[in-house]
Structure 1
Amino acid sequence: MQIEHLTLFIRIAVTHNISMAGNELGLSPAVASAHINKLESTLGVRLIHRTTRKVSLTEEGKAFLPHAEDVIASVEAARASVGAGSFLPRGTLRVAAPASFGRMHLVPIMADFLAQFPDLKVDLKLSDTIVDLVEGGFDIAIRNSELKDSTLIARKLAPDHRILCASPAYITQYGQPSSPHDLTNHKCISLIGLENWGFHTDEGQTVIKTTGNFRTDNGEAIRDACINGLGITINSKWSVYKHLKSGNLVQVLPDYPLVSNTAIWALYPSSRLLAPKVRAFIDYLAQHFVNASQWED
């Protein structure tokens, strides 16, 4: 039983793709398949189910996985104790991220990140649709949301405080609401399907069903519509902080915080035997966003 075979098996368990796992380790699809066949032959059991779309672990594979991880973790710890086992990030890193956050805060840092890791390539999918990491073949997903129960590993990167905003022109024309209940008399811009806004008040949580004449499915579009005077909206501070500083937008109802537990998260399938390219990207993001005061001030 070879260490390389165990390493490949663990990556297949994460990626659900023999070719992708083999590519991470510098193996051709044929060689990767041969390695898994050899491992299964050595053990005398089938470890994975192969289909045309993906592979999945058999019951025997699921039982074997934690033991394989323990072996590799022990080997890596032994190598590290003598300063060996350095693995440089390489290959293609596939990242999924929300459209607005990705354009505003990920794309601008890619030049520096790739300069630090010249053997890496990045495929960045920008979409506000929640993607399945395994089905989509992604290494990591960035999400700005409330973290739900998940089998994925999550690392918090930065806060995602959300506030109400309006343009000065809108406030001049329609006035400043003094309480959440006043919003029922205002034009509100909302994400499609998220018209109910929750607030913390002295009486407890209050939910207001908002109305307006413009909705959209994109955060930047909501922000820009707000700047152009279409109404009051909810937006993340990372999206509007420059416009608040310039005076294009003003905060509305600052004494009534929104009910929100959102943050910026990095999600990935497993923390054990994490591919060097994934670890490098997560560590880079964590360092970059360690001080999010640029949008929190």
Structure 2
Amino acid sequence: MLLENLSLFLRIVEKGGLAVAGREVGLSPATVSERLASLEAYYGAALLIRTTRAISLTEEGRALVEGARRLLAEAEELESRVRRGADVISGPIRLSAPEDLGRRLLVPVIDAFLAEHPAVTIDLNLTDGNVDIVGQGMDFAVRHGMLADSSLKAKSLGENRRVVCAAPAYLAAHGTPTHPNDLAQHDCIVMRFGQNIDHDWPFVINAVVRKVTVRGRRVVNDGGLVREWCRQGRGIALKSIRDVAEDLAAGALVELLGDFSAGSTALQIVYPPSAVQPRRVRMLIDRIAAALSTGCGV
């Protein structure tokens, strides 16, 4: 019963409320409250602070979140080995990845992994915004850029150069910028990351990294659509080389302002600091790392 209550506690935290957590597992709000109270009595500490609008974790609750995930992962790993044997993996994997990279590079890896392991299920969240992987119960996420949350662990996938690019049709109609400042006269396709709009693009100008403010008629939070609009000649885009390498090689897109490139950013897999991950999660992380580390990004 303790493991079941720990699992319910994690679901409450991930879903942000007792009622919604109860609905997902078919329990009434009263039963969820009783089981939460039982868990708090067991540990002798309040785990959640509840108001009429939201819940938040106490210090003891935050400690239990990490410990509960580790304990449940160990229990699930043990059960899988006993019931199915050491060579069979099973259970869910929850992960997040950028839209464009996820669709083109991760989905084929995931499809192959699922074909090899029929007892595994995947919950894939494709988004170009950063997901709270701890709060939402994710096993891991693939992310561009440096690790902002120091409580997470990271596995490097190598460097990830960003390139300014456009379709030949756009350049034929509007001309080719030869200096970053020329972008002020061009229609740029701009990414939105949550509430932040990526208007400021970095360049090395006179040996100094400077940000040039760009404008355009298209702002979107989907990196795949940025690439598609760019291929259609709708404007100039700033994209990961991993997203547009095939387009550049085929001539569908042309790299611009390469002499002013601001270098590379990190590409990495990030995951909660729990000491134990189910074997299925470790195996998929290794498979993705192998696939993406051989991609172009240097």
Please confirm whether the aligned pair reaches a TM-score higher than 0.5, indicating the same fold: yes
Report the 3-state secondary structure (helix = DSSP H, G, I; strand = E; otherwise coil) of the residue aligned with 1:289: helix
1:155–1:56 CA distance, 2 compared to 1 (3 A): farther
**What whole-Å deviation, never above 9, does each CA across 1:109-141 have from its counterpart, x for those lacking one?**
222112333321111122223222233232222
Task: Give the CA deviation at 1:161.
Answer: 1.4
Task: Give the CA deviation at 1:66.
Answer: 9.6
> Which of 261, 285, 288 is the matching residue for 1:282?
285
CA distance in 2, matches of 1:64, 1:174: 58
CA distance in 1, matches of 2:226, 2:136: 28
CA distance in 1, matches of 2:102, 2:159: 15
**8 Å Cα contact 2:69-2:274 kept in structure 1:** no
**1:195 alignment partner AA:** H
Q: Mind listing any 5+ residue stretches in structure 2 that lack a counterpart?
A: 15-26, 72-84
Alignment partner, residue 238 of structure 1: 242
1:106–1:54 CA distance, 2 compared to 1 (3 A): farther
Task: Give the CA deviation at 1:93.
Answer: 1.1
**8 Å Cα contact 1:89-1:280 kept in structure 2:** no
**8 Å Cα contact 1:191-1:217 kept in structure 2:** yes
Task: Give the CA deviation at 1:88.
Answer: 5.0
CA distance in 2, matches of 1:128, 1:185: 27
1:196–1:10 CA distance, 2 compared to 1 (3 A): same
**1:116 alignment partner AA:** E
**1:210 alignment partner AA:** V
CA distance in 2, matches of 1:87, 1:46: 40
Q: Mind listing any 5+ residue stretches in structure 1 that lack a counterpart?
A: 18-28, 72-84
Q: Report percent identity of matched pairs.
A: 32
CA distance in 1, matches of 2:92, 2:172: 51
After TM superposition, where is structure 1 displaced by more than 6 Å over at least 4 residues in a row?
8-15, 37-40, 53-58, 61-71
Scaled by the length of structure 2, what TM-score is found?
Answer: 0.71
CA distance in 2, matches of 1:190, 1:266: 25
1:114–1:68 CA distance, 2 compared to 1 (3 A): closer
**2:154 alignment partner AA:** A
Task: Give the CA deviation at 1:165.
Answer: 0.4
**1:286 alignment partner AA:** A
**8 Å Cα contact 1:99-1:126 kept in structure 2:** yes
**What whole-Å deviation, never above 9, does each CA across 1:132-176 have from its counterpart, x for those lacking one?**
223323222222233213312221224321100011122223322
1:55–1:5 CA distance, 2 compared to 1 (3 A): farther
1:15–1:101 CA distance, 2 compared to 1 (3 A): farther
1:99 and 2:91 aligned:
no
Task: Give the CA deviation at 1:186.
Answer: 2.1
Alignment partner, residue 169 of structure 1: 169
**8 Å Cα contact 1:97-1:141 kept in structure 2:** yes
**What whole-Å deviation, never above 9, does each CA across 1:5-40 have from its counterpart, x for those lacking one?**
79x9799789957xxxxxxxxxxx99xx99xx7997
Count of residue correspondences:
270
CA distance in 2, matches of 1:147, 1:172: 40
Alignment partner, residue 147 of structure 1: 147
Alignment partner, residue 229 of structure 1: 233
Task: Give the CA deviation at 1:246.
Answer: 0.8
CA distance in 1, matches of 2:12, 2:116: 25
User: What is the alpha-carbon root mean square deviation over aligned residues?
Assistant: 4.3
CA distance in 2, matches of 1:136, 1:203: 42
Scaled by the length of structure 1, what TM-score is found?
Answer: 0.71
Alignment partner, residue 271 of structure 2: 268
